[in-house]
Amino acid sequence: MATWLQSKWRYLFMFLGVQLVVMALLSREGYHKRVSYFIRIFRKLDTTASGTSGASSPHASNHTGGDVYANLSLLAKAHGRGEDMPYCPKTSPLIGGPIHVYFPSGLTLAQVARKNPLVVRGGRYRPPDCEARHRTAIIIPHRNREHHLKFLLYYLHPFLQRQQLNYGIYVIHQAGNYTFNRAKLMNVGFREAMREEDWDCLFFHDVDLIPEDDRNTYMCDTNPKHTAIAMDKFGYKLPYKMYFGGVSALSPLHYLKMNGFPNNYWGWGGEDDDIGVRVSLGGMFISRPSVKVGRYKMIKHKLDKGNDVNPRRFNMLAKTRQTWKLDGMNTVEYEVLSRDYFPLYTNITVHIGTEAGLHATAPSPKIPAKVPAKPPVEAPAKPLAKLRQKQQNH
């Protein structure tokens, strides 16, 4: 009898012990869940607070990231660039990954210039302590978007410096009040940038898109490159497979193969898809960074005056296969009205005409009287001739 009671109590104590262990484990798991829950809440509150402080817009980013100017304090002006300057590393040690994007209140271009002391006249930059491996021109089609331009320059200059690029920024400003033509301005930008230097990569950049990760390198790939794969306006997803809008990159040889961009898309819409089709027709593919890296924040705004939706865009797209060799870099006409080398960028103001042609009488764009009109600009012979020779050799 005594032995039976001892056995019974032994099993009872073992059962109670197992229960206590289970309860302790459950309690610990619940504790971690509650702690994690409150940590997430405080992180959200902290991110929201930091995103709104110092921001002039309700569109300030709450995407976690570092200060885009953080690593640039390590740079110093070179005392003279010798011929034996070493090449920069293949991967820049200044790259930091995600960037915290917000829009500082009262920002001026003079403030941006002071934060970028190594940028020289015309928005040009070379690394002070090594020879850049890549030469990149940034082409920005523009009209009446100065407010957006200063924010883009605020982020773009340090973004490019962290990648140790030899770069220049060109703002191609459409004169007059006639309907905006983004793709034609990009054709102009290509010609005018190549007239100044033999760039090995050209980035065509909307003025209202801010990159959010400096691992998204502004260098060309083997194929045409579309970097704005994940914009906040599309929920940080690619809207459709052939989308080529926002920010894209071409080498000069890519540009020649696809005959540049179309000149006949007046108004909003259609030209990006036409360009995407040209990439395919030129025997190339679209390359992209990962969705995690190719992130951009759009500065929200209303549709611009003079940039109404193009009602003919779908009919024009349907004919791209027949028109791409007849309309592009080989047919673009324009007049350069002025070329100004500002501290942060080169501004090229151009007259690009209307749908009726460069010198159509009606409707006529308003051209400043003090600037004499110049003859239509022909393609710069030296760089394009070199490019055509390269294409023949390939």
Distance separating alpha carbons of residues 374 and 372, to the nearest angstrom: 6
pTM attached to this predicted model: 0.77
Q: Say if 25 falls within a structural domain.
A: no
Read off the CATH number of the domain in which 163 is found. Answer: 3.90.550.10
Q: Say if 363 falls within a structural domain.
A: no
Distance separating alpha carbons of residues 339 and 341, to the nearest angstrom: 7
Question: So what's the pLDDT on residue 73?
Answer: 75
Q: At how many degrees (to 10) do helices 381-393 and 182-196 cross?
A: 100
Structural domains counted in the chain? 1
Digitized pLDDT (tens) for each residue of the chain, 394 residues in all: 555 556 666 766 676 665 665 555 444 444 344 434 333 333 333 333 333 333 333 333 445 689 999 978 777 655 455 668 899 999 999 999 999 999 999 999 999 999 999 999 999 999 999 999 999 999 999 998 899 999 999 999 999 999 999 999 999 999 999 999 999 999 999 999 999 999 999 999 999 999 999 999 999 999 999 999 999 999 999 999 889 999 999 999 999 999 999 999 998 788 999 999 999 999 999 999 999 999 999 998 666 666 677 778 888 889 999 999 999 999 999 999 999 999 999 999 999 999 888 886 544 444 443 433 444 444 444 555 556 555 555 5
Q: Say if 383 falls within a structural domain.
A: no
Of 106, 188, 115, 128, the closest CA to residue 156 belongs to: 115
Q: Say if 296 falls within a structural domain.
A: yes
Question: So what's the pLDDT on residue 28?
Answer: 44
Q: Say if 146 falls within a structural domain.
A: yes
Question: So what's the pLDDT on residue 309?
Answer: 79
Question: So what's the pLDDT on residue 1?
Answer: 55
Question: So what's the pLDDT on residue 71?
Answer: 77
Q: Say if 118 falls within a structural domain.
A: yes
Range of the domain at 211: 91-351
What single string gives the DSSP state of each residue in 319-361?
A: THHHHTTTSSTTT---EEEEEEE-SS-EEEEEE--BTTBTT-S
How far is residue 285 CA from its own chain's centroid?
A: 19
Question: So what's the pLDDT on residue 357?
Answer: 86
CB neighbours of residue 143 within 10 Å: 22
Q: Say if 28 falls within a structural domain.
A: no
Q: Say if 20 falls within a structural domain.
A: no
Of 107, 96, 203, the closest CA to residue 158 belongs to: 96
Distance separating alpha carbons of residues 151 and 192, to the nearest angstrom: 24
